[in-house]
Amino acid sequence: MGALEAAPAPRRRGAVRDVLRGAASPVLFLGPAVLLIAALFLAPAVVTVVISLTNLSVATGLTHYRWIGVANYGQIAHSPWLVLVLRNTVLYVAATLVLFNVGFALVLAILTAHLSERAAGVFRVLWMLPRITPSVILALMWRWFAAEPPYGTVSQVLGLVGIPGHNWMNAHPWAFVVALNGFVGASFGMIIFSSAIAGIPRDQYLAAQVDGASAWQQVWRITLPRLRWPILFVTAYQTLSLLTSFEYILLTTNGGPGFYTTEVWSLYAFHLALSNYFGNTQFGLGAALAAVLVVLGLGASLVYLRVFRFGELVAAPRIEVN
């Protein structure tokens, strides 16, 4: 009897070790990634929200700020520029996304799919150039491109056919903001879509040809439905990246010309928080603006998942063998 009672002890110790070992490997594997996410993503997000609850600014410094609750959010809600900046943001994101990052990227991917491997490669590399060009240089190039005579390329060319030159970026700021961001952004979707198209078996197009589908019907009925997942990914990813990227607008129109013509949310936040014209940068208000932007991005993502029926895309197949 005594021997029987003594027996479980070492076994239990073994079990504890097993549990520990079982728990250790997930921690070891996930630990580094969790730490990185916590340090680089969660912590800044928390700090942003915390700062947004203060009146922290250059005037208060790090010692004299006060906790003001959600007053910053109230100020945003009652800002006379809220509607204008929101409208600009939606216009900027939607136009760039639809026309270039998804639309033009799709056109490029579908067209290059029909070129030889080599020609398609050259073409795609050309479209990658704006992405790997330093943004300051690219923005300067576009400013010179659009500049008034006798410097601007557009003005020079149009001058040859008698069209009077002026600063085209001031005349059509939105066209330039959207096109510049679109030229940079289109290559991302193009690469994603191209690889997705390359993954569609050639037999499916041959079968469609045998069944009498025209080139357009092949694109519409075979290529595009198979790109639903990549289009969702590019749309969601690029929405977030457009919402937060303002460097090309900063470097070209800087929110102008005139008053807030092309001022988008992230640029507005930057101007208030880090580059106030009057010298008093309002960190608290800027942080609140950033927090609102995160919520806007999350909301847009949720809408996309619903629109593209994400649940259906990841549903497991039901295979029945007979």
Partner 1 sequence: MDVVLEHVGKQFGRVTAVEGVSLTVGEGELVALLGPSGCGKSTTLFLVAGLYRPTSGRILFGGRVVNDATPQERGVGMVFQSYALYPHLTVFENIAFPLRVRRSRGAQIAERVRRVADLVGIAELLPRRPAQLSGGQQQRVALCRALVKEPAVLLLDEPLSNLDARLREATRAEIRRLQRELGITTLFVSHDQAEALSIADRVGVMHGGRLIAVMTPADLYERPPSRFIAEFIGTPPMNFLEARVEDGRLAVAGVMPRPLAHPVPPGTYLLGVRPEHLELAADGDLRAEVFLVEQMGREWLVHAACGDASLRLLTGAGAAVAVGSRVSLRLLWRRAHLFDSQSGAAVPFGLADDPR
Q: Is 314 in the site for partner 1 (CB under 8 A)?
A: no
Strands of 8-52 (E only): list them.
none
Q: How many residues bind partner 1 (CB under 8 A)?
A: 24
Q: Is 210 in the site for partner 1 (CB under 8 A)?
A: yes
Residues in CB range of 76: below 8 A, 6 or more apart: 82, 285, 288, 289, 292
Task: Say whether 54 sits in a helix, a strand or coil.
Answer: strand
Q: Is 201 in the site for partner 1 (CB under 8 A)?
A: yes
Residue identified by tokens 């932007």 is 293
Q: Are 88 and 178 spatial neighbours (Cβ–Cβ below 8 Å)?
A: no
**Candidate residues 43, 122, 206, 298; the one interacting with partner 1 per rule CB under 8 A:** 206
Q: Is 156 in the site for partner 1 (CB under 8 A)?
A: no
Distance in Å, CB of 111 to partner 1, minimum:
22
Q: How far apart are CA 68 and CA 71, in angstroms?
A: 6
Q: How far apart are CA 253 and CA 138, in angstroms?
A: 13
Q: Is 310 in the site for partner 1 (CB under 8 A)?
A: no
Task: For partner 1, give the closer residue by CB, 216 or 259.
Answer: 216
Give the up-direction half-sphere exposure of residue 133: CA atoms within 13 A in the CB hemisphere. 21
Q: Is 61 in the site for partner 1 (CB under 8 A)?
A: no
Task: For partner 1, give the closer residue by CB, 195 or 214.
Answer: 214
Task: For partner 1, give the closer residue by CB, 65 or 310.
Answer: 310
Q: Is 117 in the site for partner 1 (CB under 8 A)?
A: no
In terms of Cβ atoms closer than 10 Å to its own Cβ (0-12, 13-18, 19+), residue 12 is: exposed
Task: With contacts defined by CB under 8 A, name the span among 56-64, 284-292, 297-305, 313-321 that binds partner 1.
Answer: 313-321
Q: How far apart are CA 124 and CA 220, in angstroms?
A: 23
**Candidate residues 22, 134, 225, 311; the one interacting with partner 1 per rule CB under 8 A:** 225
Q: Give the count of beta carbons closer than 10 Å to the beta carbon of residue 78.
A: 8
Task: For partner 1, give the closer residue by CB, 49 or 222.
Answer: 222
Q: How far apart are CA 317 and CA 222, in angstroms?
A: 20
Q: Is 217 in the site for partner 1 (CB under 8 A)?
A: yes
Q: How far apart are CA 228 and CA 78, in angstroms?
A: 39
Binding to partner 1 (CB under 8 A) within 227-246 occurs at: 228
Distance in Å, CB of 228 to partner 1, minimum:
8
Q: Is 204 in the site for partner 1 (CB under 8 A)?
A: yes
Task: For partner 1, give the closer residue by CB, 141 or 213.
Answer: 213
Q: Are 196 and 227 spatial neighbours (Cβ–Cβ below 8 Å)?
A: yes
**Candidate residues 61, 62, 211, 259; the one interacting with partner 1 per rule CB under 8 A:** 211
Q: Is 221 in the site for partner 1 (CB under 8 A)?
A: yes
Task: For partner 1, give the closer residue by CB, 119 or 140.
Answer: 119
CA dihedral 206, 212, 214, 215 (to 10 degrees): 0
Q: Is 199 in the site for partner 1 (CB under 8 A)?
A: no
Q: Is 215 in the site for partner 1 (CB under 8 A)?
A: no
Q: Which residues bind partner 1 (CB under 8 A)?
A: 201, 203-204, 206-214, 217, 221-222, 225-226, 228, 317-322
